[in-house]
Amino acid sequence: MLCRVAAWSFAACLVVWPAHASLELSTLADADSPAAAIAIATPLDQAQAKAEDNAPTSPIDSPTQNPAQALDNTPAKLAALDPAEPGVVSPPVAEPFGLAAIPVSFGNVLTKWSGVEADIRAEDKVLARCRDNIDTCPAPARDFLAIVDQGRKLTGRARIGVINRAVNLAIEPMSDMAQWGVPDRWSAPLETLTTHRGDCEDYAIAKYVALTQAGIPAADVKLVIVRNTEADEDHAVVAVHADGGWIMLDNRWLTLIEDNNMSKAIPLFVLDGDGVRQFMPVALTGARRQPTPASLGF
């Protein structure tokens, strides 16, 4: 009986093994080709059709593909192999100074920024009521809306420049200690325009809100904290993305300059609607690319 079973098993092996072996050998022979991973993940007849119709002729034809992605047999991944539809996604706009930045989940800067964002949302309600009825609008809100309206009438760099100038002229520089009796306090725009006094963060916050209210996309406006190496102190500015680069707005001058012209500033944090991110220290050595014009120095 055992011999009869063994004979039947041997015969079955003779029938099944050649077909199975041909699949394994053909797969191993093509393992170095871009379509090999698809052949492993699909039946042989489907894999051959996809390899002939969809696979790029060389790795260069599929610049976004990597070996780990090739093992994923989902329809989205296979579609990305089609040379006619490479699936290339436009890269996001780089951070100011061209540096990488990582999210911050705790710390003093995040605490202050979160508090200011809450105050800005509260002031937005005041501004909305002012637009409905300017006669009942508080004076600080009217002053701020006048700045926003100046910007709305213009476009491009002209819009950025007029808001930068208007905010700079609307606020008298004064330290937080002199005004509030505390070392560091960040104020929303209407609070700043109530006294028309503030320090660099107050200027920057007012510009940040005014620029977005005037129609510049929120993703194109950042508040940036830098280290002023000449005065050895932290300093706040606003960065606006325009003409393919970042324009820096500073309360110490009316001129618009590029981020790579701030040679005496070490970027520390970037703040926006997505929270706070810290510039990576390993990248800071590449931030100093061009000297600052003497008239624009810190």
Centre a 10 Å sphere on the Cβ of residue 166 and count the other Cβ atoms it contains.
20
Q: Which of 21-35, 145-159, 261-275 has the lowest mean pLDDT?
A: 21-35
Any idea what DSSP says for residue 93? Answer: P
Q: In 3D, which of 252, 255, 171, 248 has the Cα closest to residue 211?
A: 248
Q: What is residue 281's predicted lDDT score, i.e. its pLDDT? A: 72
Q: Where in the chain is the domain with CATH 3.10.620.30?
A: 99-296
Topology of the domain comprising 99-296: C8orf32 fold (3.10.620)
Distance of CA 141 to the CA centre of its chain: 30
Q: Which residues pair with 239 in a beta bridge?
A: 222, 248
Q: pLDDT tens across 2-57, in order? A: 344 344 444 444 333 444 433 333 333 333 333 333 232 333 344 444 444 444 43
pTM given for the model: 0.66
